[in-house]
Amino acid sequence: MKPKNLPREIYNPFTNRNRKGRFLLCKRLKLRPDNYLEEYCADLEVINIMAPIRPAEEAERCPQPSLSEEQEASEYLVARCKKIRTSDYMLFSSDALVHIASDSKASEKYTWLGERLRLTFKMMRSDSRLIRTMCHSHGLMQCSSKNPQVNVIWMGAPVKSVKMRELMPWQRLNQFPRSTELTKKDRLYENIERSKSIFGEAYDFIPEFYVTPRENQKMEIAFDRVLKEVTAAGGELCFPGEFIVKPTNSRQGKGIFFANSMADIPAEGPLLVSRYLKDPYLVNNHKFDLRIYVAVTSFYPLVAYVYSEGLARLASRPYDTSASSADSNEYVHLTNYSINKNSTSFVRNESMSSEDLGHKWTLGALLRYVENEGKDAKLLMLRIEDLIVKSLLSIQNSVATASRTTLRFACTNFELFGFDVLVDQALKPWLLEVNLSPSLACDAPLDSLLKTRLIADLLNLACVPLLDKKIIDSVTPALRKSMNASQDSETSDPDELELDPKCAKTLKRRPVGLKRSVLTKKIVSGNTSLIPNTEKKFDQIVRKVELEEGRRGDFIRVFPRNGTWGMYSPVMEDLGSDDFDERLFAEVITKKNMKNSSEQIATSSSSSSSSHSTFSSSAFSSMRIEEVSDLFHDVMMECSKYPSLADVPIEVREIISPWYEEASEYTKKITQDGETYASKLPTIRSTARLRTKSCAEFYEVRKVQMAKKKEAEAAAAKENEPVVLQAVAAKRVV
């Protein structure tokens, strides 16, 4: 948690005028103790010996800051250079983007480390400019999509599990196996519905739904029921429809329409037909939805973060459910930016001093609006966090099962999800969908500011190891051999695994900082399996979660945190005897609490009650933990009954009060009055656009293809021109 009374970190990624942020920036990118990687990979000796990065004399050669206006950021980097030996993971900062367009010496401060270690990245089925700019700004070289040996892999579409099996422990991939269970509309709804059938109303946060064509019968009954209900109440069917219909695999509002009867549903599917939420909370009489960014660094045990900055997307025309409305339905009832930007009423937010201008606001601006209306915006955010945690829990079993067979190493995967949430009149949040690769387009100043910080923080959470390519190359054969052996036979004898002689030779040269004891042990014995077993993986995850605490930037960890095990364990599926979630809670939360409060040690008598932790004695004595958990889920779902924190029963309030306090992060401003920000991402100067030969060739070919395509389009437009003109002229004559 950020220290109280300190301003939110405000700095401008495009001017490098770091206003109040220097102290916070250093804090935010806190470095770890010397032996971190050793601890982290204590069991994976092959990584252990790769920990040292950089000879001390090189730190002295590292570019020194000039005493210019950029001094503040430079000081931070000098500190970073000095400490670099103590940091084992790449530190990303949105500040780096300031220099990448100019030939400024200053950019070296950010790029030298990536270049020196020859770190690489590749992008597959994605060409996000933001990711490319961020990686190039930190000296990472872009490789062609075929290169298997890269440090960071950014995928824009689902990855095959066979590819995931090849991941090396130092690689980072922005996806978990089977996360499509969350990001395909029908699967998401079905997973949550399944959890609801097991755990009841705690999972009541998606609208009633049907998937065509397999649920056509049920849907017909639902249409009849709704018609009867409406006519019995003396009303009329809602305009534009009681149900909203979406293709299960489309996005950006494509193919959406409304339905009131079976006759409106086409035979071809699959389609997701869900109940239209006709009473949305309105902002200045406009419907809106929220885009919440969620990062997951582990699914089992679950480790989830919500970004404290997000977006509110407003419909461009006022909300109206009367059939007489002359306005186009899509601009009234759909809030997608991709649709509304085409409306003549759409107002772009080009200003940076204002977060609530036009039809795209920041999450903070929206929450401040809600607060001004006398509503409890922070409780709304706790409910949104709750639905996020439950959505992730609903697919935990699937992802954990797939991960067991797919992921050889812990900590290689992370994922960013975009949760779309609609808020109704009672301030109840409803989950509409979860996006696999949320848009990282930066076409307005707010987008650029928010998303550059988001991606820097996300990559910091991912913990990209700082390992020299030479060392990686030298140990890869041994590791591959070990991986293949374990693939051939799950029970392969680890004693048979030997380091590649070439690798051993490299190791004998002893990379700087390598502990002789480690080296000797490895070379002499050579009898440890290089693939960690489940228990070792768990230990690595525990250490990574501790590491993430110092690198999470503006992400708020929503699971695990104080009280979550007690509240959520009754609505979590049993995933076997590992009990990773409970054990992680005990390691990361209970132990910390015990350390912080010796009083708590005295009061927690049994180990089970201690794992439920943070209960105050008053709440714990009056109610059983299961009862408090039931009450908690009631509070999360029943928004009219508990509209503000003051209405929440004391037993639950005691647990959620720290979360509520932390939720003030969501309501803060991200911009600074009087400050101006770049509206677009910088163009990377050619010398900084590091690419491998094959990647450069690919981009050359693409450039030519794009130019040809443009030419063809222009030619086609020219050809059509007279026809259109003729048509217009003919119309006029008529």
Stretch that binds ligand ATP, among 243-251, 263-271, 408-416, 614-622 (CB under 6 A): 243-251
* Between 277 and 485, CB nearer to ligand ATP: 277
Does the protein bind ligand ATP through residue 649 (CB under 6 A)?
no
Least distance from C-beta 125 to ligand ATP, angstroms?
Answer: 16
Residues 187, 246, 317, 612: which binds ligand ATP (CB under 6 A)?
246
Does the protein bind ligand ATP through residue 342 (CB under 6 A)?
no
Cis previous bond, 429, omega within 30: no
Q: Which of 554, 524, 545 is nearest to 592 (CA)?
A: 545
Q: What is the DSSP string of 153-219?
A: EEESSPPPHHHHHT--TT-EES--TTTHHHHSHHHHHHHHHHHHHHHGGGG--S--EEEETTTHHHH
Stretch that binds ligand ATP, among 342-350, 429-437, 610-618, 652-660 (CB under 6 A): 429-437
Q: Which of residues 386-425 bind ligand ATP (CB under 6 A)?
A: 420, 422
Q: Which residues contact 425 (CB under 8 A, 6 or more apart)?
A: 279, 280, 281
Does the protein bind ligand ATP through residue 253 (CB under 6 A)?
yes
Which 3 state secondary structure label does DSSP give 273?
strand
Least distance from C-beta 336 to ligand ATP, angstroms?
Answer: 5
Does the protein bind ligand ATP through residue 250 (CB under 6 A)?
yes
Q: How many CB atoms lie within 10 A of CB 320?
A: 17
Q: How many CB atoms lie within 10 A of CB 642?
A: 21
Stretch that binds ligand ATP, among 19-27, 273-281, 539-547, 630-638 (CB under 6 A): 273-281
Strands (E), 238-376: 243-247, 257-259, 271-275, 282-283, 286-298, 303-307, 311-314, 360-362
Q: Tell me the C-alpha to C-alpha distance, in Å, between residue 635 and each of 280, 445, 517, 613, 630.
A: 20, 37, 56, 20, 9
Stretch that binds ligand ATP, among 84-92, 120-128, 329-337, 604-612 (CB under 6 A): 329-337
Beta strand 415-423 with 429-435 is antiparallel
Contact at 8 Å (CB) between 12 and 677? yes
Strands (E), 376-531: 415-423, 429-435
Does the protein bind ligand ATP through residue 242 (CB under 6 A)?
no
234 dihedral zone (left: phi>0; alpha: psi -120 to 50; beta): left
How far is Cα 110 from Cα 267, in angstroms, rounded to an integer? 56
Least distance from C-beta 274 to ligand ATP, angstroms?
Answer: 5
Residues 50, 90, 119, 334: which binds ligand ATP (CB under 6 A)?
334
* Between 95 and 289, CB nearer to ligand ATP: 289
Least distance from C-beta 2 to ligand ATP, angstroms?
Answer: 30
Least distance from C-beta 242 to ligand ATP, angstroms?
Answer: 10
Does the protein bind ligand ATP through residue 526 (CB under 6 A)?
no
Least distance from C-beta 438 to ligand ATP, angstroms?
Answer: 8
- Phi first, then psi, for residue 90 (nearest 5°) are -60, 140
Residues 95, 385, 433, 654: which binds ligand ATP (CB under 6 A)?
433
* Between 417 and 559, CB nearer to ligand ATP: 417
* Between 435 and 657, CB nearer to ligand ATP: 435
* Between 91 and 219, CB nearer to ligand ATP: 219
Does the protein bind ligand ATP through residue 289 (CB under 6 A)?
yes
Residues 89, 276, 300, 559: which binds ligand ATP (CB under 6 A)?
276
Residues 96, 173, 259, 432: which binds ligand ATP (CB under 6 A)?
432
Strands (E), 583-622: none
Residues 104, 328, 336, 354: which binds ligand ATP (CB under 6 A)?
336
Residues 94, 274, 406, 667: which binds ligand ATP (CB under 6 A)?
274
Does the protein bind ligand ATP through residue 366 (CB under 6 A)?
no
Q: Which of 141, 29, 188 is nearest to 95 (CA)?
A: 29
* Between 22 and 251, CB nearer to ligand ATP: 251
How far is C-alpha 320 from the chain's CA centre? 34
How far is Cα 625 from Cα 623, in angstroms, rounded to an integer? 6
The residue written with tokens 């977060």 in the block is 355
Least distance from C-beta 331 to ligand ATP, angstroms?
Answer: 11
Contact at 8 Å (CB) between 681 and 324? no
The residue written with tokens 């959470």 in the block is 461
Does the protein bind ligand ATP through residue 183 (CB under 6 A)?
no
Least distance from C-beta 430 to ligand ATP, angstroms?
Answer: 7
Q: Which of residues 197-216 bind ligand ATP (CB under 6 A)?
A: 207
Query: What amino acid occupies position 517?
Result: S
Does the protein bind ligand ATP through residue 726 (CB under 6 A)?
no
Stretch that binds ligand ATP, among 9-17, 333-341, 531-539, 588-596 (CB under 6 A): 333-341
Stretch that binds ligand ATP, among 232-240, 332-340, 478-486, 644-652 (CB under 6 A): 332-340
Least distance from C-beta 348 to ligand ATP, angstroms?
Answer: 18
- Residue 211's DSSP bridge partners are 272
Residue 555 is given by DSSP the state E
* Between 335 and 629, CB nearer to ligand ATP: 335
Q: How many CB atoms lie within 10 A of CB 276?
A: 20
Least distance from C-beta 203 to ligand ATP, angstroms?
Answer: 16
How far is Cα 116 from Cα 118, in angstroms, rounded to an integer? 5
- Residue 11's DSSP bridge partners are 18
The residue written with tokens 């946060």 in the block is 205
What is the total count of residues that contact ligand ATP (CB under 6 A)?
22
* Between 441 and 645, CB nearer to ligand ATP: 441
Does the protein bind ligand ATP through residue 434 (CB under 6 A)?
no
Binding residues for ligand ATP, rule: CB under 6 A, are: 207, 244, 246, 250-254, 256, 274, 276-277, 289, 334-336, 338, 420, 422, 432-433, 435
